Amino acid sequence: MDNKGTFNSNESGIAGFGRGPMSLPSQLKVHRFSHCLTTMVEFRTSPVFLGTPDDLEAHATGPIQSTPFVPNTGGALSSFYYLSLKGVTIGKTRLPFNESAFALNDDGSGGTIMDSGTSITIFPRAVFRSLREAFVSQVPLPIANDSTDADSMLCFDVAPKKKVPAVPKLVLHLEGADWDLPRENYVLDLDDDGDGTGGGLCVVVHSAGESDWAIIGNFQQQNMYIVYDLDSNKMVFAPARCDKL
């Protein structure tokens, strides 16, 4: 009934699923819900389950993992779902940041949020720049001309008719779980449009700029069955074919 932002003609607004008293799960007194976001290129409906058995074991196409939520009693942002992110690995390189770079501060600032409403994952500026450097050192491609700024999304050029090289793994180290993202959840391939200029690829992660928090967005959540278990205060997740649920 009260939405702010820009919506397309086929969008009605936003349904809140946070911890606040006005969210949909809170009003329905649901203590467990889940969603599975289909890939963006498929344009298919993504299922959401409210308080029903998630049947995760039957649909998981990879390991089922869980990680606890971190409580935030620091005020306005307490409705978000915070995770304990311990570190990030690119290929064989663990970025030189420990969990303090991603931790929730006593005043409610910082922290790492799991958010289906944010499109692209963001990291604090120092972490993002380190991530950029790690990909640049491991991907044997030239950086795209419009991607040379240290705070811009990293894109590479691919010469016409050249094979795209392997891209190093991106792993998020959470408390009790290592989330090894599939390539399509952090790399966007830019097709050769036939004009002889070639194509490219982009690492779909942004800098948080002046902000000190990290947000895991929905691009990274594609084809992941994610369960919010509020009774056990944890997130359970596994890769799945979301269009088959």
Mean per-residue pLDDT, 234-242: 97
**Residue 195 confidence class, pLDDT cut points 50, 70, 90:** low
Least confident segment among 62-76, 150-164, 230-244: 62-76
Q: Do 200 and 158 contact (CB within 8 A), yes or no? A: yes
Read off the pLDDT of residues 9-33 as tens digits, 9 standing for 90 and up.
Answer: 887 778 889 998 989 999 999 999 9
Better pLDDT: 182 or 161: 182
**Alpha-carbon distance 187 to 222, whole Å?**
12
Residues 6+ apart with CB under 8 A from 241: 59, 61, 223
The distance from CA 2 to its chain's CA centroid, rounded to whole angstroms, is 26
Kindly report the pTM of this predicted structure: 0.92
| Percentage of the chain lying above the pLDDT 90 cut | 74
Give the pLDDT score at 5.
79
Give the pLDDT score at 194.
55
Adjacency order of strands within the sheet including 199-203: 154-158, 199-203, 187-190
Q: Do 188 and 86 contact (CB within 8 A), yes or no? A: no
**Domains observed in the chain:** 24-244 (2.40.70.10)
Mean per-residue pLDDT, 173-196: 88
Better pLDDT: 2 or 188: 188
Q: Which two tokens stand for residue 144?
A: 């795209």
